[in-house]
């Protein structure tokens, strides 16, 4: 153990760690959970420190030897070394200062180990021209942007699978349902295509929300005014950071606004919340349409993935949609946390970015993995029970809606009631009563007509009424 001193006083720091007094205090103060700050935030913060060292050396405010040692230390960390020293808690006070100082301390000690006799200071050298208030939000945005591509790719895969299902079952009739009651018929081609359209909108929302994350306040230091940052640094640091990170970041037009307001996080969280809502609704439908196998809807067959009961032999549950539902609940709940944290910001800074970043990044990863298992363990093996669908349509009296233009609402209603009472299908009843010509009945109850795949103009109705039998 050795002692280090800060503005609070002296504190014992372990000899076998690279971090110092600031990080040690954070570990003592924020013992809320064992969860560390997200690795992508640490990675992004290190990339910021590397870019800053390069730019500060070029601008003449950091000696060449120090700059080289700092860059070398950053490279070592980016290659995975000393990860056990990046320990700042995920949930913390002081708007991310513990993360910034954890990185500053580790880089400084790591750099000094590379050259004897060189003193590199966490604040004066590693943090030169910076503040937690511009580096931490920049690192958080970078982390969110880095975590986004796998989520977008998985949504795209899901859309592709849904379009394949729409094509495979394009002409399979099913009973449409509104408020869980029989409605007019449709086809599973329409059903799966509608889901694909839904998730395409989620892709658009996420991409649009992510564009705002590219606007950063790096160089704004404490409150966006850029105090203590050189003009050279402010002009060149973002370009250097883009070269290191591969991202397309840009300085915000209003640095004061970008430092104190976190509405971009709320918007990004909102896009993920909508995706979660859509996923949950979709999985609710999958579970309902799969229900049975004897006493439920039984229209879809989801792949069997594990035994569903410790007491009922042979019972198989829709475990994949169930786990996706639970992920959706978590994401929706954390969206509330993010909104409350954004609203609670005061004056020139929001102190609650740590919980926002923690939840935003977790939501990205949870949704990415949830969609991955939904596609690979459910949708890829999903089949439609065509026989059950045909039976349901045949025995659904609501399919008689197609008769309205020919017989009127009142007579059609009477036929529906009679068919339900006799437990027979409408087609059989119509032919028995000879209300319409048999060939017209067949045409009206064809998949094309019942799903409105042929024109239903007044002229067609007028022309076909000539074949009606006397009422």
Torsion-angle region of 431 (φ positive above 0: left; ψ -120 to 50: alpha; else: beta): alpha
- To the query of whether residue 467 is one of the catalytic residues in this protein, the response is no
Q: How far apart are CA 48 and CA 44, in angstroms?
A: 6
Give the angle 183-185-186 at the CA atoms, nearest 5°.
Answer: 120
Which member of 309, 399, 466, 467 is catalytic?
Answer: 309
- What is the pLDDT at residue 396? 79
User: DSSP character for 9?
Assistant: -
Q: Please, which pLDDT band fits residue 335 given cuts at 50, 70 and 90?
A: very high
Q: Please, which pLDDT band fits residue 402 given cuts at 50, 70 and 90?
A: confident
One DSSP character per residue, 102-153 reads HHHHHHHHHHHHTSTT----IIIIITTT--HHHHHHHHHHHHHHHHHHHHHH
Q: Please, which pLDDT band fits residue 146 given cuts at 50, 70 and 90?
A: very high
- What is the pLDDT at residue 458? 41
- What is the pLDDT at residue 362? 98
Q: Please, which pLDDT band fits residue 450 given cuts at 50, 70 and 90?
A: confident
Please check whether residue 374 is in contact with residue 320, taking contact to mean a CB–CB distance below 8 angstroms: yes
Sign (positive/negative) of CA torsion 444, 446, 452, 454?
A: negative
- What are the pLDDT digits (tens) for 272-328? 999 999 999 999 999 999 999 889 999 999 999 998 888 898 899 999 999 999 999
- What is the pLDDT at residue 431? 86
Residue-range domains of the chain with CATH: 2-128 (1.10.275.10), 134-387 (1.20.200.10), 395-467 (1.10.40)
pTM exceeds 0.75, yes or no: yes
Task: List CB contacts of 78: < 8 A, sequence separation 6 or more.
Answer: 43, 46, 47, 50
- What are the pLDDT digits (tens) for 222-236? 999 999 999 999 999
């Amino acid at each position: 153990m050795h002692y280090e001193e800060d503005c609070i006083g002296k504190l014992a720091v372990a000899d076998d760690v690279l971090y110092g007094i600031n990080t040690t205090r954070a570990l003592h103060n924020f013992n809320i959970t064992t969860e560390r700050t997200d690795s992508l935030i640490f990675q992004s913060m290190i990339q910021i420190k590397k870019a800053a060292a390069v730019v500060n050396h070029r601008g003449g405010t950091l000696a060449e030897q120090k700059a080289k040692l700092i860059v070398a230390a950053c490279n070592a960390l980016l290659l995975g070394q000393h990860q056990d020293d990046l320990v700042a808690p995920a949930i913390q006070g002081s708007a991310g200062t513990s993360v910034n100082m954890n990185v500053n301390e580790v880089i400084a000690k790591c750099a000094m180990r590379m050259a004897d006799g060189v003193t590199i200071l966490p604040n004066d050298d590693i943090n030169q021209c910076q503040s937690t208030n511009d580096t931490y939000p920049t690192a958080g945005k970078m982390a969110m942007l880095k975590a986004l591509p796998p989520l977008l790719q998985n949504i795209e895969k899901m859309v592709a699978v849904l379009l394949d299902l729409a094509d495979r079952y394009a002409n399979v009739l099913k009973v449409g349902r509104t408020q869980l009651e029989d409605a007019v018929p449709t086809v599973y081609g329409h059903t799966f295509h509608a889901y694909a359209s839904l998730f395409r909108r989620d892709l658009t929302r996420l991409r649009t929300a992510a564009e705002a994350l590219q606007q950063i306040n790096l160089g704004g230091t404490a409150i966006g005014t850029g105090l203590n940052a050189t003009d050279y640094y402010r002009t060149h640091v973002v370009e250097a950071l883009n070269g290191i990170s591969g991202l397309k970041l840009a300085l915000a037009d209003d640095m004061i606004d970008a430092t104190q307001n976190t509405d971009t996080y709320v918007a990004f969280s909102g896009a993920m919340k909508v995706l979660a809502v859509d996923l949950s609704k979709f999985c609710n439908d999958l579970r309902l349409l799969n229900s049975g196998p004897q006493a439920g809807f039984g229209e879809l067959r989801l792949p069997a993935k594990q035994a569903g009961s410790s007491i009922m032999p042979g019972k198989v549950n829709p475990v994949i949609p169930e786990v996706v539902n639970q992920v959706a609940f978590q994401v929706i709940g954390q969206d509330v946390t993010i909104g409350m944290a954004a609203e609670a910001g005061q004056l020139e800074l929001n102190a609650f970015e740590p919980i926002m970043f923690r939840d935003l990044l977790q939501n990205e990863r949870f949704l990415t993995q949830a969609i991955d298992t939904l596609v690979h363990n459910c949708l890829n093996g999903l089949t439609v029970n065509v026989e059950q669908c045909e039976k349901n349509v045949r025995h659904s009296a609501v399919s008689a809606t197609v008769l309205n233009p020919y017989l009127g609402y009142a007579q059609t209603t009477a036929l529906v009631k009679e068919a339900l009472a006799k437990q027979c299908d409408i087609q059989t009843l119509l032919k028995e009563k000879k209300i319409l010509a048999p060939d017209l009945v067949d045409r009206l109850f064809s998949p094309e007509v019942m799903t409105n795949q042929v024109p239903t103009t007044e002229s067609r109705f007028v022309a076909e009424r000539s074949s009606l039998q006397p009422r």
